Amino acid sequence: MYKISDNILSPLGVTTEENLRAVLDGRSELIRHEHIWGMPEPFCASMFTGGQSESMQYSGCSRMESFAIRSIYAALDGASFDYKGVDVVLILSSAKGNVELLREGDDEANCYRLGASARRIADVLGFVNEPVVVSNACISGVSALHLARLLLDSGRFRYAVVCGVDVQSAFVVSGFQSLKATSASPCRPFDICRSGLNLGEAAATMVLAGDDVVGGEDSGLWHIGRTSVHNDAFHLTSPSKNADGAYAALSDVLDGVGTDELGFVNLHGTATMFNDQMEAVALRRVGLASLPVNGLKGYYGHTMGAAGILETVLSMAAADDGLLPATLGFAELGVSVPLNITSGARHVDKPSFVKMISGFGGVNAALFASKGKWRGRRAAGSSVKMSKPSAGQKLKVEHTVRIEPDKVLVDDQLMALPDEDTHSFLTAIYRKYVGDYPKFYKMDLLAKLGFLASELLLQAEGGERFSVRSDRAVLLFNRFGSFHADKAYLKTISNPDNYFPSPSLFIYTLPNIVTGEIAIRNHYQGETSFYILAERDEPLMGQIVCATLEEPQIQSVIYGWVEAEDETHFCMDIKLVRLGK
Partner 1 sequence: MEDLILELKQEIIAALNLEEMSPEDIDAEAPLFGDGLGLDSIDALEIIVLLEKKYGIKLSSASEGKAIFTSIRAIAEYVSQNRKK
**Interface residues toward partner 1, by CB under 8 A:** 178-180, 235-238, 427, 438, 441-442, 500-504, 507
The one-letter amino acid code at 188 reads: R
* Closest approach of partner 1 to the CB of residue 62, in Å: 30
**What is the signed CA dihedral for 548, 250, 360, 182, rounded to 10 degrees?**
-150
380: enclosing H helix or E strand: helix 377-381
Distance CA 348, CA 324 (A): 6
Residue nearer to partner 1 on the CB measure, 150 or 447:
447
Distance CA 179, CA 177 (A): 5
* Closest approach of partner 1 to the CB of residue 526, in Å: 23
Cβ atoms within 10 A of the Cβ of 504, count?
Answer: 14
Q: Are 377 and 563 in contact (CB under 8 A)?
A: no
Q: Are 476 and 514 in contact (CB under 8 A)?
A: yes
Using alpha carbons, list the distances in angstroms from residue 479 to 305, 390, 427, 476, 572.
18, 29, 24, 11, 12
Residue nearer to partner 1 on the CB measure, 40 or 381:
40
* Closest approach of partner 1 to the CB of residue 238, in Å: 6
Q: Are 268 and 104 in contact (CB under 8 A)?
A: no
Residue nearer to partner 1 on the CB measure, 308 or 501:
501
Residue nearer to partner 1 on the CB measure, 498 or 568:
498
Residue nearer to partner 1 on the CB measure, 129 or 504:
504
Residue nearer to partner 1 on the CB measure, 238 or 290:
238
Distance CA 152, CA 161 (A): 11
Cβ atoms within 10 A of the Cβ of 383, count?
Answer: 8
* Closest approach of partner 1 to the CB of residue 507, in Å: 6
Residue nearer to partner 1 on the CB measure, 179 or 514:
179
Residue nearer to partner 1 on the CB measure, 448 or 479:
448
* Closest approach of partner 1 to the CB of residue 332, in Å: 21
What is the 3-class SS of 174-214, one letter each residue? HHHHHCCCECCCCCCCCECCCCCECEECEEEEEEEECCCCC
Residue nearer to partner 1 on the CB measure, 196 or 298:
196
Residue nearer to partner 1 on the CB measure, 117 or 509:
509
* Closest approach of partner 1 to the CB of residue 575, in Å: 29
Residue nearer to partner 1 on the CB measure, 187 or 507:
507
- List the one residue out of 252, 283, 241 whose CA is nearest residue 265: 283
- List the one residue out of 563, 529, 561 whose CA is nearest residue 548: 529
* Closest approach of partner 1 to the CB of residue 491, in Å: 13
Q: Are 72 and 309 in contact (CB under 8 A)?
A: no
Q: How are beta strands 264-266 and 292-294 bridged, if at all?
A: parallel
Q: Are 5 and 76 in contact (CB under 8 A)?
A: yes
* Closest approach of partner 1 to the CB of residue 268, in Å: 19
* Closest approach of partner 1 to the CB of residue 199, in Å: 18
What is the 3-class SS of 491-542, one letter each residue? HHHHCHHHCCCCHHHHHCCCCCHHHHHHHHHHCECCCEEEEECCCCCHHHHH
* Closest approach of partner 1 to the CB of residue 334, in Å: 15
* Closest approach of partner 1 to the CB of residue 207, in Å: 39
Distance CA 273, CA 266 (A): 18
